[in-house]
Amino acid sequence: MKKIVMALLCAVLLCGTAVTVLAQPPPPGGRHYEDWRGDIRSRIHAAEERIERGIEHGSLTRHEARGLQGELHGIRDKIDRMRDDGHLDPRERDIIQRDLSRLERHISQEKRDDERQHHQDGPPSWPPRPY
């Protein structure tokens, strides 16, 4: 009987410890933080996709999309200039990350500003249907 009680007690303690560890927030710079912040290449790709989806769903006008694509093109040019020495140093990465954050805010603002691109067959349905 003692062995069964001890085994159950150990199992409960192990489960409790595992749950406590999983409930801790990820450390700064840990994997979850990197996923949220994203590397430069993936953030550029995500911005391109958001602009394209905005055009497809009608939440961005062509004029707004051209402006956002121009801003993205400017960021790419800045990256090319900064990489003339072969790499981006931490300060340059921070500058690019800040520029990408600003672009993401601009995309969100333009998508929510109630200017709609109307399609040939009428306005798009809202909210957009997942395909």
- Neighbour-count burial of 1, counting CB atoms closer than 10 A to its CB (0-12 exposed, 13-18 middle, 19+ buried): exposed
Radius of gyration of the chain (CA): 24
**Per-residue model confidence (pLDDT) at position 5:** 83
The pLDDT-based confidence of 30 (bands split at 50, 70, 90) is very low
Report DSSP letters for 23-86, one per residue.
Answer: TSPPPTTSHHHHHHH--HHHHHHHHHHHHHHHHHHTSS-HHHHHHHHHHHHHHHHHHHHHGGGS
Q: Which of 54-63, 85-94, 109-118, 122-131 has the lowest mean pLDDT?
A: 122-131
Considering only residues 74 and 31, tell me which one the structure prediction assigns the higher pLDDT.
Answer: 74
Mean pLDDT of 124-131: 49
The pLDDT-based confidence of 9 (bands split at 50, 70, 90) is confident
Share of the chain above pLDDT 70, in %: 70
Across the chain, mean pLDDT equals 80
> Count of residues for the chain?
131
Is the pLDDT confidence value at 87 over 80?
yes
